[in-house]
Structure formats: structure tokens, C-alpha cells
Amino acid sequence: DTEVTQTPKHLVMGMTNKKSLKCEQHMGHRAMYWYKQKAKKPPELMFVYSYEKLSINESVPSRFSPECPNSSLLNLHLHALQPEDSALYLCASSQVGSNQPQHFGDGTRLSIL
């Protein structure tokens, strides 16, 4: 079992809905990440939190809103998404530092109707 837990595993929502993706880790990692992965493509970085502060935003549209309420939790709030936002959303965590491995969750499969 992965040490990074993501919920829900699957989510179907309409373009007018508001939903949230959740990610939790208890490894004491102080860096947490959101990635978007389309089929047969590598993950694309969206956001990085370091010590609960947003440190990287890869020019992600404002309809995606991240939140890091504490060192163990990372949320991604979704609002007014488009069909092209359908993808696998991966959360990862790591110790802060360049040689530290990122531990990935199994992702949330998001479908926008």
C-alpha cells in the first residue's frame, strides 16, 4: 500500500460543480506536490508546498485552488472545470531537499462531464 493516501479514487463532476481532492501523508514530509497526468503522458507539475507554504505554481488556471492546512494534508479545490481537465491527479510528498525521493499516491481519476 502507498504511504500517500488520496481520496476519492474516482470523481465524476459537471462543469458547474465544486469539489475537492484530498491527500494525506504521515511520513513527516514537509514538501507536498500536485501533479496532473493525462493518459500515456508523464506527470505535469501543478503546485509545490514547502513547510505548508506555496512555493511553486506552474501557471495553473485559477479554477484549481490548492490548500495545505497542515503538514500532513494537501487539498485541491476544483471549481468550474473544463472537459480537458479530465485526468489523473497525483499527490506526492518528500523531505525538503534536492536528493529526496518523491512518494506518490495512487491518484484521483477525475472525469468532467
* Alpha carbons 34 and 93: distance in angstroms, whole number: 9
User: DSSP labels for 29-65?
Assistant: --EEEEEEE-TTS--EEEEEEETTEEEEE-S--TTEE
Residue count (the chain): 113
Interaction mask 2-21, another protein, x per CB under 8 A: x-x-----------------
Instruction: For the chain, give percent helix, strand, coil, nearest 5.
Output: 5, 55, 40
Q: Which stretch binds another protein (CB under 8 A): 11-19, 64-72, 75-83, 98-106?
A: 98-106
- Shortest approach of another protein to residue 21 CB, angstroms? 13
Span interacting with another protein, options 12-20, 69-77, 79-87, 100-108, rule CB under 8 A: 100-108
Contacts with another protein by CB under 8 A lie at 2, 4, 31, 33, 40-45, 48, 50, 55-56, 90, 92, 96-99, 101-107, 109
